[in-house]
Structure 1
């Protein structure tokens, strides 16, 4: 059964990303749209042939969606989260999660009390270009230098609510920099040292205080360091992340990733110019799904040795005995090929504590009471 989705906020991100993502989804249907602008609302209501609302609470009362995609100005986010949580509606929310640490803690508590899940839309985590980068980083030796840049030019970098720190929570760092910083957290974890310099000086006579340009320097205890350049004023439009290692480097740009030799020649390249569209659908269909801990078999180990190692690495649990083989399924990997996952049943020495390194949460579940998992996992366990 498909989930019923409502779209709250009909700006550029909704029209260019989330609504097309819903249209391509095999697991969700758009059932309502909501926006405070009647003209904008009318256009999307007619285009998608669904009910339209200017009031979030009224839409939730009348339509009762399973989840909502929230793409509203930063300062409106808390109100929408409160409304959805009060009615038990899960959310896929545009970044940022919150405009301050205090608001973040408050929103987390609201979601906990409402027993709902809130996922932040970090589309790059569902983009095959960005997921394949992980494998390429393993081939460049020891990484020691990071050079990131996300810049573009807009004539008024402080226009509207985005120029007001009180409403936006910040400027280019919390807005466009959010994606680049998340990639670093995904690939390398939290840095040990951070220094940031930023300014709102591109238009000296303009009245805005949210930074239009920033330089962030970061360092890890493993002798890995680097910098990020972020700007709403600097042309040309550039989005890239260059990681240099002892045996080569990886250059990630929008729509392509290259592994480079030490002399800069291309060793291998993956290009997916239309990947952003598929990523929008993937985060709807796959976001929030639970999965079985898994990993890759190393060259020097057997598949059973990999089961012991991956379980320990991903969960902190120690397997006492592998009790059986329960089957396999195939799925499309980040490079567009097919990967086969072999699955085993096992007992562990202790069920707690669970220490996660690659997932956001865990739960023990009975085969008859599974949370939301892929069809492949559900069929495997049911058999």
Structure 2
């Protein structure tokens, strides 16, 4: 077996919870040299471990600043910083000629997302957006089945992406750092699957939201929402994006997509299977099936080695940010329809 040419990858920030599984996936890959930097971790209001302490727990080499991370001359970076900090890091990577996998959402504004795409295109580097759910075998099988035409034309889609309030990462509920609440956090995963399934840009968006869930915390962002999207083909899709799972739940939540076609329906729920039980602390839940973050990282690393653009790309990132920001605008106007 040929040994892969060493590939240097820097994980920039531990702000997003997926950064932990990204480190685990990259450490398991042959021919990957890894370093992490989380300079904002020490000052973060997060309850969860960050910075050098988390790096030590994960067993990954650590540097204190992004300057040191780029001085290490990585071939690629995985950006898992707070949403509003994505643009600066992507543009810095592009200027250094470094390929990028960026956590979702790509940005908090469409303007920033477009600027990030343009910076990477000018530099000739990859910009991939971290949407791991599309790598679930059940999702891929469902999309293949629907594209085959056997069930006829797609008529409508119901999406659900619910979960716990991400309380151990305080920035998720900081309107400046996150760009919003549940609408930002959970709409984009379903929007990505819709983008892949339908192959058309959304035409209009209508949304309602509130902060009834977790009202005792007096958060500045929405904790529940429902989004309706109309596509040029006439398909109407809905997304329930609420932080509605109880904090006592043994698992973070789940995502389900139900597609209604002319001759049948297809339902996928890639996080539904698991092993339930109990321990000294109460109910437990261990998911079974493919590691979606590992599949995402595998595609990114192969694309970097092969010099090709992987999916989902910046175009997908922009279109999903368009939907999320239109949903925010609609909800702020009492459910007014926003045309894209």
Find the counterpart in structure 2 of residue 34 from structure 1: 37
TM-superposed CA distance for 1:179, in Å, is 0.8
Matched, 1:84 2:89: no
For CA contacts below 8 A with separation 6 or more, give which structure has more relative contact order.
2
Compared CA separation, residues 103 and 272, structure 1 to 2 (3 A): same
Partners of 2:307 and 2:60 lie apart in 1 by 30
Structure with the greater alpha carbon radius of gyration = 1
TM-score by length of 2: 0.71
8 Å contact from structure 1 (residues 151, 239) kept in 2: yes
8 Å contact from structure 2 (residues 166, 172) kept in 1: no
Find the counterpart in structure 2 of residue 254 from structure 1: 270
State the Cα deviation string for residues 214-265 of structure 1 (Å, max 9, x = none).
11112234342231111013457331000112221110102579xxxxxxxx
Find the counterpart in structure 1 of residue 277 from structure 2: none
Partners of 1:5 and 1:30 lie apart in 2 by 6
Find the counterpart in structure 2 of residue 327 from structure 1: none
Structure richer in helix, relative to its length: 2
Compared CA separation, residues 45 and 229, structure 1 to 2 (3 A): closer
TM-score by length of 1: 0.64
Compared CA separation, residues 7 and 205, structure 1 to 2 (3 A): same
RMSD of aligned alpha carbons: 3.2
Matches within 5 A, 1:299-318: none
Compared CA separation, residues 83 and 277, structure 1 to 2 (3 A): closer
Find the counterpart in structure 1 of residue 176 from structure 2: 166
Of 130, 135, 158 in structure 2, the residue corresponding to residue 126 of structure 1 is 135
- Structure 2 unaligned spans of 5+: 43-48, 274-286, 316-340
Compared CA separation, residues 94 and 205, structure 1 to 2 (3 A): same
8 Å contact from structure 1 (residues 67, 90) kept in 2: yes
Of 159, 167, 177 in structure 1, the residue corresponding to residue 187 of structure 2 is 177
Partners of 1:222 and 1:101 lie apart in 2 by 24
Partners of 1:155 and 1:54 lie apart in 2 by 26
8 Å contact from structure 1 (residues 121, 283) kept in 2: no
- Structure 1 unaligned spans of 5+: 258-270, 293-357, 362-383
8 Å contact from structure 2 (residues 139, 270) kept in 1: no
Find the counterpart in structure 1 of residue 112 from structure 2: 103
Find the counterpart in structure 1 of residue 10 from structure 2: 6
Partners of 2:313 and 2:101 lie apart in 1 by 17
